[in-house]
Amino acid sequence: MCLGLTADCTGLGIDEQGQLIQTRPAFGGNIMATIISPYTRPQTATVRPNVFMATEADPSRPVNIEEVPVTLTKANIRTRLIEEIRLESEDERIEEAKIIVSAGRGCQDPINLDMVRELARKLGGVLAGSRAIVELGWIPYSLQVGQSGTTVGPDLYIALGISGAVQHVVGMSSSKKIIAINKDPDAPIFKIADLGIVGDALVILPKLIDEVERIKLRR
Protein backbone atom coordinates (compact mmCIF):
# COMPACT_ATOMS: atom_id res chain seq x y z
CA MET A 1 0.00 0.00 0.00
CA CYS A 2 1.27 3.53 -0.81
CA LEU A 3 0.12 6.48 1.28
CA GLY A 4 0.26 10.20 0.57
CA LEU A 5 2.24 12.24 3.10
CA THR A 6 2.41 16.01 3.11
CA ALA A 7 5.40 17.11 5.15
CA ASP A 8 6.17 20.47 6.78
CA CYS A 9 2.58 21.79 6.79
CA THR A 10 1.88 25.27 8.15
CA GLY A 11 -1.87 24.71 8.37
CA LEU A 12 -4.34 21.81 8.59
CA GLY A 13 -8.11 21.77 8.18
CA ILE A 14 -10.92 19.39 7.30
CA ASP A 15 -13.51 20.10 4.58
CA GLU A 16 -17.15 18.92 4.47
CA GLN A 17 -16.12 15.69 2.70
CA GLY A 18 -13.71 14.78 5.47
CA GLN A 19 -10.69 15.60 3.32
CA LEU A 20 -7.66 16.77 5.23
CA ILE A 21 -6.73 20.17 3.78
CA GLN A 22 -2.97 20.46 4.05
CA THR A 23 -1.32 23.85 3.54
CA ARG A 24 2.40 24.19 3.06
CA PRO A 25 4.86 26.55 1.42
CA ALA A 26 6.18 25.36 -1.94
CA PHE A 27 8.75 26.57 -4.44
CA GLY A 28 11.03 28.04 -1.77
CA GLY A 29 8.14 29.58 0.15
CA ASN A 30 6.98 31.59 -2.85
CA ILE A 31 3.52 30.00 -2.98
CA MET A 32 1.26 28.38 -0.40
CA ALA A 33 0.08 25.02 -1.77
CA THR A 34 -3.17 23.39 -0.66
CA ILE A 35 -2.85 19.62 -0.86
CA ILE A 36 -5.44 16.85 -0.45
CA SER A 37 -4.99 13.07 -0.53
CA PRO A 38 -8.29 11.88 -2.05
CA TYR A 39 -7.23 8.37 -3.08
CA THR A 40 -5.53 6.88 -0.01
CA ARG A 41 -6.39 6.41 3.66
CA PRO A 42 -5.30 7.21 6.30
CA GLN A 43 -4.40 10.78 5.42
CA THR A 44 -0.97 11.66 6.79
CA ALA A 45 0.81 14.95 7.33
CA THR A 46 3.60 16.41 9.44
CA VAL A 47 3.61 20.02 10.67
CA ARG A 48 6.38 22.54 11.09
CA PRO A 49 7.59 23.10 14.64
CA ASN A 50 5.60 25.86 16.40
CA VAL A 51 2.61 25.74 14.05
CA PHE A 52 0.60 24.05 16.81
CA MET A 53 1.40 24.25 20.50
CA ALA A 54 2.15 20.80 21.89
CA THR A 55 -0.25 19.72 24.64
CA GLU A 56 1.00 18.34 27.95
CA ALA A 57 1.64 14.58 27.85
CA ASP A 58 -1.12 12.63 29.61
CA PRO A 59 0.13 9.11 30.43
CA SER A 60 -3.32 8.10 31.73
CA ARG A 61 -4.89 8.39 28.26
CA PRO A 62 -5.63 4.96 26.74
CA VAL A 63 -3.77 4.32 23.49
CA ASN A 64 -4.15 1.36 21.15
CA ILE A 65 -0.75 0.17 20.07
CA GLU A 66 -0.87 -1.90 16.91
CA GLU A 67 2.23 -3.81 15.88
CA VAL A 68 2.65 -3.68 12.11
CA PRO A 69 5.24 -6.10 10.70
CA VAL A 70 7.67 -4.37 8.36
CA THR A 71 10.12 -6.08 6.09
CA LEU A 72 12.84 -3.81 4.87
CA THR A 73 16.11 -4.64 3.24
CA LYS A 74 19.06 -2.27 2.97
CA ALA A 75 18.20 -1.76 -0.68
CA ASN A 76 14.77 -0.39 0.27
CA ILE A 77 16.30 2.50 2.24
CA ARG A 78 17.34 5.13 -0.20
CA THR A 79 18.32 7.80 2.34
CA ARG A 80 21.76 7.75 3.91
CA LEU A 81 22.97 9.94 6.81
CA ILE A 82 26.36 11.19 5.67
CA GLU A 83 27.15 13.75 8.37
CA GLU A 84 25.43 15.65 11.16
CA ILE A 85 26.40 19.33 11.38
CA ARG A 86 25.12 21.26 14.40
CA LEU A 87 24.68 25.04 14.26
CA GLU A 88 26.74 26.62 17.00
CA SER A 89 25.58 30.23 17.24
CA GLU A 90 22.95 31.06 19.87
CA ASP A 91 21.27 33.27 17.30
CA GLU A 92 20.57 30.35 15.03
CA ARG A 93 17.97 28.59 17.15
CA ILE A 94 14.99 30.84 16.69
CA GLU A 95 12.50 27.96 16.48
CA GLU A 96 13.31 26.96 20.07
CA ALA A 97 13.62 30.46 21.55
CA LYS A 98 11.25 31.53 24.32
CA ILE A 99 11.87 35.23 23.66
CA ILE A 100 12.46 36.72 20.22
CA VAL A 101 13.24 40.34 19.46
CA SER A 102 12.63 40.75 15.77
CA ALA A 103 13.76 43.60 13.54
CA GLY A 104 12.27 44.89 10.32
CA ARG A 105 13.18 47.42 7.69
CA GLY A 106 11.89 50.12 10.06
CA CYS A 107 15.09 49.64 12.07
CA GLN A 108 16.62 51.74 9.28
CA ASP A 109 20.27 50.65 9.37
CA PRO A 110 22.13 47.40 10.19
CA ILE A 111 24.10 49.27 12.88
CA ASN A 112 20.85 49.61 14.84
CA LEU A 113 20.63 45.83 15.10
CA ASP A 114 23.27 46.11 17.83
CA MET A 115 20.57 47.66 20.03
CA VAL A 116 18.01 45.02 19.01
CA ARG A 117 20.52 42.26 19.81
CA GLU A 118 21.32 43.92 23.14
CA LEU A 119 17.65 44.00 24.12
CA ALA A 120 17.31 40.35 23.08
CA ARG A 121 20.32 39.32 25.19
CA LYS A 122 19.17 41.31 28.23
CA LEU A 123 15.80 39.56 28.03
CA GLY A 124 17.46 36.16 27.59
CA GLY A 125 16.19 35.91 24.04
CA VAL A 126 17.48 35.89 20.49
CA LEU A 127 17.49 38.20 17.48
CA ALA A 128 15.38 37.46 14.41
CA GLY A 129 13.94 39.52 11.58
CA SER A 130 11.76 39.97 8.55
CA ARG A 131 12.58 38.87 5.04
CA ALA A 132 13.14 42.52 4.11
CA ILE A 133 16.25 42.72 6.28
CA VAL A 134 17.45 39.28 5.20
CA GLU A 135 17.29 40.51 1.61
CA LEU A 136 19.18 43.65 2.64
CA GLY A 137 21.91 41.36 4.00
CA TRP A 138 21.55 42.60 7.61
CA ILE A 139 20.93 39.12 9.06
CA PRO A 140 21.33 35.58 7.73
CA TYR A 141 18.40 33.64 6.29
CA SER A 142 18.43 31.30 9.30
CA LEU A 143 17.01 34.19 11.37
CA GLN A 144 14.14 34.97 8.99
CA VAL A 145 10.65 34.56 10.45
CA GLY A 146 7.77 33.83 8.12
CA GLN A 147 6.28 31.86 5.29
CA SER A 148 9.54 31.42 3.43
CA GLY A 149 11.60 31.38 6.64
CA THR A 150 11.06 29.80 10.05
CA THR A 151 7.82 29.43 11.99
CA VAL A 152 8.30 30.46 15.61
CA GLY A 153 6.11 30.26 18.70
CA PRO A 154 7.92 31.95 21.60
CA ASP A 155 6.39 33.14 24.87
CA LEU A 156 7.23 36.70 23.82
CA TYR A 157 7.74 38.16 20.32
CA ILE A 158 8.78 41.80 20.07
CA ALA A 159 8.42 43.20 16.55
CA LEU A 160 10.41 46.37 15.92
CA GLY A 161 9.74 48.29 12.70
CA ILE A 162 7.97 45.33 11.11
CA SER A 163 4.88 46.14 9.06
CA GLY A 164 3.11 42.82 9.67
CA ALA A 165 2.79 41.52 6.11
CA VAL A 166 0.79 38.29 5.96
CA GLN A 167 3.90 36.32 4.97
CA HIS A 168 5.61 37.47 8.17
CA VAL A 169 2.61 37.04 10.44
CA VAL A 170 2.03 33.45 9.35
CA GLY A 171 5.39 32.61 10.88
CA MET A 172 4.90 34.20 14.31
CA SER A 173 1.18 34.54 15.07
CA SER A 174 1.20 31.56 17.43
CA SER A 175 3.53 33.49 19.79
CA LYS A 176 1.97 33.69 23.26
CA LYS A 177 2.48 37.46 23.65
CA ILE A 178 3.24 39.89 20.85
CA ILE A 179 4.54 43.42 21.39
CA ALA A 180 4.83 45.63 18.32
CA ILE A 181 6.57 48.96 17.95
CA ASN A 182 5.85 50.81 14.72
CA LYS A 183 5.61 54.49 13.88
CA ASP A 184 2.61 53.89 11.59
CA PRO A 185 -0.56 53.51 13.70
CA ASP A 186 -2.22 51.65 10.80
CA ALA A 187 0.54 49.02 10.46
CA PRO A 188 -1.10 45.56 10.16
CA ILE A 189 1.17 44.17 12.90
CA PHE A 190 -1.00 46.01 15.45
CA LYS A 191 -3.98 43.81 14.51
CA ILE A 192 -2.30 40.78 16.07
CA ALA A 193 -0.29 42.52 18.80
CA ASP A 194 -1.24 42.12 22.47
CA LEU A 195 0.54 45.41 23.14
CA GLY A 196 1.17 48.01 20.47
CA ILE A 197 3.41 51.05 20.80
CA VAL A 198 3.12 53.73 18.12
CA GLY A 199 6.46 55.47 17.91
CA ASP A 200 10.00 55.47 16.60
CA ALA A 201 11.60 52.13 17.47
CA LEU A 202 15.04 53.72 17.49
CA VAL A 203 13.98 56.17 20.20
CA ILE A 204 12.07 53.59 22.26
CA LEU A 205 14.73 50.86 22.05
CA PRO A 206 17.40 52.50 24.27
CA LYS A 207 14.71 53.33 26.83
CA LEU A 208 13.55 49.71 26.82
CA ILE A 209 17.11 48.46 27.25
CA ASP A 210 17.65 50.84 30.21
CA GLU A 211 14.36 49.82 31.78
CA VAL A 212 15.13 46.09 31.49
CA GLU A 213 18.56 46.75 33.00
CA ARG A 214 17.00 48.77 35.85
CA ILE A 215 14.48 46.03 36.64
CA LYS A 216 17.22 43.39 36.59
CA LEU A 217 19.36 45.44 38.99
CA ARG A 218 16.41 45.94 41.34
CA ARG A 219 15.96 42.20 41.53
Ligand X SMILES: Cc1cc2nc3c(=O)[nH]c(=O)nc-3n(C[C@H](O)[C@H](O)[C@H](O)COP(=O)(O)OP(=O)(O)OC[C@H]3O[C@@H](n4cnc5c(N)ncnc54)[C@H](O)[C@@H]3O)c2cc1C
Residues in contact with ligand X by CB under 6 A are: 29-30, 104-106, 108, 130-133, 144-149, 161-163, 165, 167-168, 171, 181-184, 187, 200-202
Measured from the CB atom, the residue of 9 and 132 that comes closer to ligand X is: 132
Q: Residues with Cβ < 8 Å from 24, sequence gap 6 or more?
A: 6, 7, 8, 9, 10, 11, 32, 33, 35
Nearest approach in angstroms of CB 54 to ligand X is 23
3-state helix, strand, coil in the chain (%, to 5): 25, 25, 50
Candidates 150, 148, 182; CA nearest to 164 is 182
Measured from the CB atom, the residue of 4 and 91 that comes closer to ligand X is: 91
Nearest approach in angstroms of CB 30 to ligand X is 4
Nearest approach in angstroms of CB 12 to ligand X is 19
Measured from the CB atom, the residue of 125 and 146 that comes closer to ligand X is: 146
Nearest approach in angstroms of CB 25 to ligand X is 8
Which residue type does 167 have? Q
Which run of H or E residues covers position 203? helix 201-218
